[in-house]
Chain A
């Protein structure tokens, strides 16, 4: 029977079919191994990927699915070989909970690109059982995939950093978007986008938010600290900003035109997509050739870089803007998330609201 493969009782909320509706669900976790850390989950961020997954929009969901990969909690048990953590430590778990740990890729601290990567939910763990995510009471994780949370960051508001944070931090570092004075465009102002704005400002960049929705301008500038705001459906605004941006982080998850965004880039500019559109995008080639422009993708980051990102957030006091919810609000939260009706991430108050029957 699904969920009884392991010996430690666990309780959470799961979806069992493509309706994506979640219900209370009893399952099990493995016993704490020598390299493992058991974590009592305090908070879990609601990532848009969770929504895609519960509805099987990408076609690889294996029901029942307990989503959640922006987890903050407290260590309750450590294995005999665990030196980095002790009981009571406040820790985080992000998008991955395992990899082969020995290949070239893992040795370069790029575990997220390991061909044997194990995702926090809906993946096959090393013992053959399915992984279940953070919409649950506890989780057992190999210490390599557990992160220290800086003391000054509040638990609930830093949970989204574990996916949204690293997803934008990694390409910003990789593609050199950290040189003060450069101009960064952030396309889309949701969970990913609002964190990208905060990182951009912390790196000393000029930041322009590019959005279809004029209503977001005041927030973008006054609350998030963006320097300017561009309504991408306004041709005059697009034209005025042509050739002004060194980089664009494109967080838009839906299919959208790339041509206007490419026009905003300077020569040699780079557009990096971190949103996950489920259909191909149309890419005009001329602007790439004439301007030596680049369109790339990026996917979370390795564990070393994720820790570096968290420490960077601790240093610059960066947390996500969240709406805290009860676990039993999750189905409504998903409906609102589908309409982008959240500023800017829901976070489930797991410890206080998840009660097993």
Chain B
């Protein structure tokens, strides 16, 4: 008979889980593995609430294993290390992001691209090498192989910095990969949510002019005055969109619902990329003639490897970049999800796990 979540591992753990696609969360007793020789055990202090947590809790992608304990923007303190661990010691501040395992041998892994390994293991709702399901950071502790643990810079806040572990790397990686990290470029950022607002901050730190493209004029003041964007385009404003045709060196598109790509492709200069980091569920229409006549492309990017995630966190610390967050107690989670669905958050909820997660 299969062991229950509570008994499958030796170390008691407690968190909040959803049991079915209603995505209603409630307290959940489970267990973590003993700290293996290369493992790091972390007391979770904060965990960001990523939109993917919502998609997964509702099983929108068909990948969910219930009960699900989401959370892959985790910061905390090391409480135990395995005897072969070299990078960390007890008391260190660390982060754990979207992945906790990969094959470590394939071309992708050996090139520090663990996120593109065909056998990657996600921080939650994935099957670990011991056959058990992984549980994420809406919980009191987590145990992870040191390779997948991030050193946390001293000056980076643990609460507002937590979203960097997913939103941060998701936007940083394509800006670097597509050469959009050089000063003087004009970068478009579509969508101003968790991903979008961090993309603006990174692009500004790289020395770019940044235009936010949004469906809603309401976000303009924030975008310009608080986040430092240089300009703001309302995508429904045809005249403004027309005036901006062919002006952008690259666009990071963070929108995960279906939306027209042609107006965005037209904003690109020739030989430039529209990079999707939000993942719409259904295929989008792409008109090929403008792409052919302008040698433009649509591509995607998903998080980043561990080496790059560490580099991103260190870059963020150096440039004082962290997310704009609303810190919430664990028992606010269900309300937070309702608000997240309506994009009613500026711009990430972060659960104060250590202070608010009470075992029953």
Contact = CB atoms under 8 A, between A and B. Distances in A.
Q: Per DSSP, are chain A's interface residues mostly helix, strand or loop, or mixed?
A: mixed
Nearest to B178: A294
A278 to B, nearest CB: 8
B294 A281 contact: no
B283 A288 contact: no
A280 B287 contact: yes
A297 B291 contact: yes
Interface string B93-118: 00000000000000010000100101
A234 interface: no
Interface residues of A, number: 33
A289 interface: yes
A314 B278 CA distance: 46
B240 interface: no
A274 B286 CA distance: 14
A296 B297 contact: yes
Contact of B279 (A274, A278, A286, A295): A286
A290 interface: yes
A19 B327 CA distance: 67
Interface string B17-53: 0000000000000000000000000000000000000
B283 A298 contact: no
Interface residues of B, number: 37
B293 A299 contact: yes
Contacts of B90: none
Interface in B259-297: 261-262, 270-271, 273, 276-297
Contacts, number: 111
Contacts of A288: 276, 298-300
Interface in B168-221: 177
A355 interface: no
Interface in A258-315: 258-259, 267-268, 273-274, 276-278, 280-299
Given A290-B302, A292-B299, A281 B286 contact: yes
Contacts of B277: 289
B300 A292 contact: yes
A294 B297 contact: yes
A281 B286 CA distance: 5
B287 A268 contact: no
A297 B293 contact: yes
Nearest to B299: A294
A277 B292 CA distance: 10
Contacts of A291: 116, 300, 302
A113 B292 contact: no
B301 interface: yes
A243 interface: yes
Contacts of B281: 286
B276 A267 contact: no
Contact of A299 (B118, B283, B292): B292
10 contacts: A113-B271, A273-B291, A281-B288, A282-B286, A284-B282, A288-B276, A294-B297, A297-B296, A299-B292, A299-B295
Interface of A: 105, 113, 174, 243, 258-259, 267-268, 273-274, 276-278, 280-299
